[in-house]
A and B are shown apart, each in its own frame.
Chain A
Amino acid sequence: MAIKKVVANVEEACRGIESSMTLMLGGFGLCGIPENCISQLVKLGVNDLTCISNNAGVDDFGLGLLLQGRQIRKMISSYVGENDEFERQMLSGELEVDLIPQGSLAERCRAGGAGIPAFFTPAGYGTEVGEGKEVRMFDGKPHILESALTADFAIVKAWKGDEAGNLIYRATARNFNPMMAMAGKITIAEVEELVPLGELDPNEIHTPGIFVQRIFQGNSYEKRIEQRTVRPRN
């Protein structure tokens, strides 16, 4: 029988998250972020966190909510441009920031979950990112050594999930979620729709439930749009 991962609610899902821990949070911009768990982290008041997430939310949504409460000590991200409070805390030195190329961030999470301690990539060679890192030539081209990332808790958001923790994402809300799900010592998945075993087609699953320790159905998703761009109907 399948091993069931279901927990009752966000409180149970986030049990054990403490100050000074390292967390991974899925999402790209505000797309595919674990809204329920972020709210719970605000409620828990844990601080001194290291957060690994591609972006830092906006001032009043996503990880911006944790920044407002000064709950984050260090951010590991690739792009943080849409958040004034973030930029203020970073330039004033209150917030430690490690900016790394987006592809390296994704691969470092994947490596962390896949048991690969480090890898060579050309991205960042000759820039600040490459400073102090081992350089090796492959096919006549310089590459830098990047190490794997793991986290005490990885927190991901999926569209559908089943009781075994198998996950399916929707459209570009997938982004970093699958790699981060692999890289958490404990991975929490919040889903829009939690279904019984057998409801999901095994052919269609993006994240196998083996990577997920806790799953729950989230509620009240705001799914805020960061840049609403449209064309007229006529």
Chain B
Amino acid sequence: MLDKNGIAQRIAQELQDGYYVNLGIGIPTLVANYIPENINVEFQSENGVLGMGPFPFEGDENADLINAGKQTITTMPGAVFFDSATSFAMIRGQHVQLTVLGAMEVSQNGDIANWKIPGKMVKGMGGAMDLVASAENIIVAMMHTNKAGESKLLADCTLPLTGVGCVKKVVTNLATLDIKDGAFHLLERAPGVSVEEIVQATAGKLIVPPHVPEMQL
């Protein structure tokens, strides 16, 4: 089974040379720690920076320089700042090649819910609705089940949607799955996880091929 860093490490394998990438808050942010060697990618943060670098050294924090998670950051050589309208022009205009974000629920049709629990929690969608509506290549990074042990991979989302039919790939603590033709397709097992465990933890329609390889990290 993977921890959060393991999920991020697996997703980092999807990065390709020359990609502009938007990483959401939480597990997705960790993907930046596992960029494969000898490829160049640039990270876009929707609050207005392309070319994000690592966190600053202690004492070098700049209140005017943050990411979309409001964390203090640095920039890489070649970085650029821009306003929010330009930022979402990059996103809506499909100039960003990969979007990684977290989710509360994902459905077998590729619907995603991650912004609201009616009557309980309303944080808002931030940039997630713009991202999922336009991005060609969306990977969801999340735990396979919620804190109550219930599957987050469902036939239909029960929570208010963030976007419809947009998620193509999910990486969880248990598995890598594709979403196509109205079903989850099991691609890989996390280290030490059996196909049976994944089947048990997946409420939506799951297609299991005869041979399911273990992830190579």
A residues contacting B by CB (< 8 A) are: 28-32, 54, 77-82, 87, 90-91, 97, 99, 101-107, 109-110, 121-129, 159, 169-179, 206, 223-233
- Check A175 against B48 for contact (C-beta < 8 Å): yes
- Check B57 against A227 for contact (C-beta < 8 Å): no
- Check B83 against A177 for contact (C-beta < 8 Å): yes
Q: Which of B70, B92, B130, B161 contacts A31 (CB 8 A)?
A: B70
Chain B residues near A121: list those with CB within 8 A.
92, 130, 133
Type the 1/0 row for B44-75, where 1 means its CB is closer than 8 Å to any CB of A. 01111100001111111111111111111100
**24 CB < 8 A contacts A-B:** A29-B66, A31-B63, A54-B84, A79-B125, A80-B123, A102-B125, A103-B84, A104-B130, A122-B133, A124-B129, A125-B133, A127-B163, A128-B116, A129-B125, A171-B49, A172-B49, A175-B48, A178-B85, A227-B72, A228-B71, A229-B71, A229-B73, A230-B59, A231-B54
Give the CA-CA distance A127 to B165 in the complex, in Å: 12
User: Is there a chain A Cβ closer than 8 Å to B162's Cβ?
Assistant: yes
Give the CA-CA distance A107 to B125 in the complex, in Å: 16
Question: What are the 8 A-B residue pairs with the smallest beta carbon separation, nearest first?
Answer: A103-B88, A103-B130, A81-B123, A126-B164, A106-B84, A101-B129, A223-B63, A79-B126
- Check A174 against B62 for contact (C-beta < 8 Å): no
For the residues of B in contact with A, the DSSP-based class is: loop
Chain A residues near B82: list those with CB within 8 A.
174
User: Is there a chain A Cβ closer than 8 Å to B34's Cβ?
Assistant: no
Known: A54-B84, A78-B126, A106-B83. 19 other contacts (CB 8 A): A28-B66, A29-B66, A30-B63, A31-B64, A87-B121, A90-B122, A91-B122, A101-B127, A101-B128, A102-B127, A102-B129, A103-B84, A107-B85, A123-B130, A126-B111, A127-B163, A128-B161, A176-B84, A230-B72
> How many A-B contacts are there with CB distance less than 8 Å?
186
Tell me the nearest residue of chain B to A75, going by C-beta: B124
Give the CA-CA distance A119 to B125 in the complex, in Å: 20
Shortest distance from the beta carbon of B208 to any chain A beta carbon, whole Å: 29
- Check B83 against A178 for contact (C-beta < 8 Å): yes
Give the CA-CA distance A177 to B84 in the complex, in Å: 9
B9-50 residues with Cβ-Cβ distance < 8 A to A are: 45-49
Tell me the nearest residue of chain A to B165, going by C-beta: A126
User: Is there a chain A Cβ closer than 8 Å to B137's Cβ?
Assistant: no
